[in-house]
Structure 1
Amino acid sequence: MKTAYIVKAYRTAVGKAPRGVFRFKRPDELAAETIEHMMKELPNLDKTRIDDVIVGNAMPEAEQGLNVARLISLMGLKVEDVPGVTVNRYCASGIETIGMATAKIQSGMADCIIAGGAESMSYIPMGGYKPTPDYSVAAAGNEDYYWGMGLTAEAVANQFKVSREDQDEFAYNSHMKALKAQAEDRFKDQIVPITVDQVYVDENGKKVSKSYTVTKDEGPRAGTSTEVLAKLRPVFAAGGSVTAGNSSQMSDGAAFVLVMSEEMVKELNIEPIARLVNYAAAGVEPRIMGIGPVKAIPKVLKQAGLQQNDVDLIELNEAFASQSLAVMRELDLNQEIVNVNGGAIALGHPLGCTGAKLSVQLFDEMRKRNMQGKYGMVTMCVGTGQGAAGVYEFLN
């Protein structure tokens, strides 16, 4: 079996949706410009040697439809030779593509693949424009197949006894860690600057154009506190505990890695960053989908031949504080190594992008900590009752 290495990894900043910094930037543009930046960092790579562009997207319709991966390939690489395929495993889509790219290279089916994800929740809302449940299936006792994610977060909070106070404290800490990381420029090296051209009509009825460049995640809130969070009303259930403040933010963003065979790495004299040791997805009861990592993490560790204490850094997607805390408690995860720079409650959760985004963040933080030869993990819950986890070995 061949060895597959990750040799480049970049992401955009994450903007709030639907009225944030990327509300005038299409998802295919975000993705294409990220890939363009990556290619500039590899001037000796003949782009026609790239075998595929695999793009994760959770709501593939409208501006994210039409096999958006092929459009992103054309726009980002500016050659016609490289195909593209769009992949959907909801919130795990971005890391699913990295798993697919790695497996294809290991099997000898490819030598060089761009993998990642893109999502604009400003353009395409949660659930898309016309979600259509099968009402006969729901009526047969399976209504949780179609539950909104907030209801599942409430179910997790109730079943695993996660208090409102604990959720708010977790959310507050996410913001504080993210703000500290931003103040220390810990995300600077991984973020691709994105220029946004905005055209609008002012109060005098005149057409106005302006441009600005985005280099910083928009979500972290310096003014928040546990007292402020405690005043927010539950939004998903009467008398519930899940609020907008202890849930992940709707977001826009893109993130990609370049996966390459060992033979090609040596030929081009490229220093690899990391390798995906193993990746796994698992199914759980849809009603408590947020607990998905509790099944996915042991599964991926077993496949990788590792123990939980072999992992030195973890990026756990904070879909909701309730499910994040439930996962950490059920698996007895070391809080000191989980989301050291904050998580999705502060930094945002651009759905199909998130798995790749968290991978990019993991590599960069491991580099800053000189964790060569150590293992890191990216994990998340996934809608309709799934969990996913990937274990990486950091190289350089």
Structure 2
Amino acid sequence: MAERLSSVLRQVTGSSKPIDVIQQQNPDDIVVTLAIRTPLAKGKKGGFKDTLLDGLMLKMLEQALRKSNLDPQLVEDVCVGNVSDAKAAYYSRAAVLAAGFPPTTAASSVNRFCSSGLKAIQDIANQISAGSIDIGLAMGVESMTQGGDRLERPFVDDILNANQHAADCMQPMGQTSENVGKDFDITREVQDRYAAESYRRAEVAQKAGYFDDEIVPIKATIKDPKTGETKEVTLTKDEGPRYGTTYESLSKIKPAFLPHGDRSHAGNSSQVTDGAAAVLLMKRSKAIELGQPIMAKFVGATVAGLAPRIMGIGPSIAIPKLLGKYGLTIDDIDVVELNEAFASMAVYCKDKLNIPWEKMNPRGGAIALGHPLGCTGARQVVTGLSECRRTKKKVLLTSMCIGTGQGMAGLFINEQL
């Protein structure tokens, strides 16, 4: 099917290069006209620790409305990716109305674990492509401070006893990371050296101001846990980067997921984080009609499944599946944003797919920046497009593993060169 699609595209366009095909500009293209995010704050103790999920949604929606310079009457749907709160659909609809959108702007929430933000983008893009709506806003929002464990009980016996894959969906994420490390012989040292580089890149990027054009300042109220006093602060920078982190310092951290293994720990795993991101989408023809800036073209996205016990290697399945649909190879990609849920899976995917390390997470990833679950899929698009603009690169690939054994990948073309 993928080969047939690529063949048809070449016949229609007269081009022999698939990379040229996906960069062509047509009126019906789905384009990004706004891509922004909040700073990423440390869960439980950072700048958003006292901001509830609906409050964080509202802050992001207000900024999206302000920064877009778009009549809110024109936005027909808002889709919010969120993982940790089953009431997210209530919050998203109420926050949309509170932010200044009219009752005619619909809202929903979506949850496919760590890909939820990208799935929200895919949902809005598909609606526009199908003609269901003209303009939509995709968001990813997560308060890991407030969110709890979604598995409050084991699965019913009929599921647990059905087969091993079904039972393995119970495995905690840390255990799956240790499975990847052991199954594919990714040593503690290799993981720690990878993590140290993620921290180094994030430090360099933050000090150089690379994140500044993607982050919108957010005011928040924080409460002193000792005195009970509250004060208002303005968050402008990510709180995750730990300057001066080295392999040597990481090598001293105790394993976090015993007895499952001794290779993953707090320093080479993604951080618990609060944050939000927003991506505004419409057809190219509509953006031109409204005078909206065209930042990028959404090419497509796909999801893939695999054994739940090694869920971390999901991108190694999803990325080839997506590239194959368009006749592309990893050599056609300029920037890769791959979620660093754990160093084990990041190392595996990088090596398995032969991704040049200089292309992958050039500003660091979730190990250094944080991984607000439902936000990450949108956050990586925001960061990746910012990096493409800075370096005058065109093709962005974003991907992440997904709990219970899945992977997702998305493809974008930067048009702000």
The two structures have a TM-score, normalised by structure 2, of: 0.89
- Which residue does the alignment assign to 2:403? 383
Q: Which amino acid aligns with 2:104?
A: D
Shift of 1:139: 4.2
Q: Which amino acid aligns with 1:53?
A: V
Contact kept, 8 Å, 1:31 with 1:255, in 2: the verdict is no
Deviation sequence 1:245-274 (CA, Å, 0-9, x none) = 110001100001100122321211222101
Alpha-carbon separation, structure 1, partners of 2:198 and 2:329: 26
Alpha-carbon separation, structure 1, partners of 2:224 and 2:342: 35
Contact kept, 8 Å, 1:248 with 1:320, in 2: the verdict is yes
Alpha-carbon separation, structure 2, partners of 1:201 and 1:294: 43
Answer yes or no: is 1:26 the counterpart of 2:49.
no
* 1:90 counterpart SS class: coil
- Which residue does the alignment assign to 2:130? 107
Residues 186 and 129 of structure 1: is their aligned pair in 2 closer, same or farther, counting only changes over 3 Å?
same
Larger mean CA deviation between 65-74 and 299-308 belongs to 65-74
Residues 13 and 176 of structure 1: is their aligned pair in 2 closer, same or farther, counting only changes over 3 Å?
same
2:247 corresponds, among 208, 217, 226, to 226
Answer yes or no: is 1:282 the counterpart of 2:308.
no
Alpha-carbon separation, structure 2, partners of 1:161 and 1:234: 17
1:149 corresponds, among 151, 173, 176, to 173
Alpha-carbon separation, structure 1, partners of 2:191 and 2:223: 40
Residues 284 and 344 of structure 1: is their aligned pair in 2 closer, same or farther, counting only changes over 3 Å?
same
1:6 corresponds, among 29, 32, 44, to 32
* 2:348 counterpart SS class: helix
Contact kept, 8 Å, 2:140 with 2:276, in 1: the verdict is yes
- Which residue does the alignment assign to 2:160? 138
Residues 235 and 42 of structure 1: is their aligned pair in 2 closer, same or farther, counting only changes over 3 Å?
closer
Alpha-carbon separation, structure 1, partners of 2:151 and 2:220: 25
Q: How many equivalent pairs are there?
A: 387
Alpha-carbon separation, structure 1, partners of 2:122 and 2:267: 32
Query: Superposed, which structure 2 residues align to 1:142-181 within 5 Å?
Result: 142-181=166-205
* 1:124 counterpart SS class: coil
- Which residue does the alignment assign to 2:269? 247
Shift of 1:66: 4.5
Answer yes or no: is 1:39 the counterpart of 2:61.
no
Shift of 1:67: 3.3
Shift of 1:210: 1.2
* 1:341 counterpart SS class: coil
Answer yes or no: is 1:363 the counterpart of 2:389.
no
Q: Which amino acid aligns with 2:99?
A: G
The two structures have a TM-score, normalised by structure 1, of: 0.94
Residues 247 and 117 of structure 1: is their aligned pair in 2 closer, same or farther, counting only changes over 3 Å?
same
Query: Superposed, which structure 2 residues align to 1:234-383 within 5 Å?
Result: 234-238=255-259, 239-371=261-393, 374-383=394-403
RMSD, aligned CA: 1.7
Shift of 1:93: 0.4
Alpha-carbon separation, structure 2, partners of 1:320 and 1:202: 33
- Which residue does the alignment assign to 2:139? 116
Identical-residue share of aligned pairs (%): 38
1:60 corresponds, among 85, 100, 112, to 85
Q: Which amino acid aligns with 1:68?
A: Y
Contact kept, 8 Å, 2:89 with 2:107, in 1: the verdict is no
- Which residue does the alignment assign to 1:91? 114
Deviation sequence 1:224-262 (CA, Å, 0-9, x none) = 221221111111123521111110001100001100122
Q: Which amino acid aligns with 1:352?
A: G
Shift of 1:302: 1.5
Deviation sequence 1:196-228 (CA, Å, 0-9, x none) = 12345765xxx6331111011001111422122
Shift of 1:135: 4.1
Shift of 1:137: 2.4
Deviation sequence 1:44-67 (CA, Å, 0-9, x none) = x22111110000011223xx5353
Q: Which amino acid aligns with 1:365?
A: E
Residues 131 and 6 of structure 1: is their aligned pair in 2 closer, same or farther, counting only changes over 3 Å?
farther
Shift of 1:297: 0.3
Alpha-carbon separation, structure 1, partners of 2:223 and 2:72: 33
Alpha-carbon separation, structure 2, partners of 1:158 and 1:92: 25
Shift of 1:192: 1.3
Instruction: Give the unaligned 5+ runs of structure 2.
Output: 1-26
Alpha-carbon separation, structure 2, partners of 1:341 and 1:255: 17
2:235 corresponds, among 200, 210, 214, to 214
Shift of 1:75: 2.6
Alpha-carbon separation, structure 2, partners of 1:42 and 1:85: 20
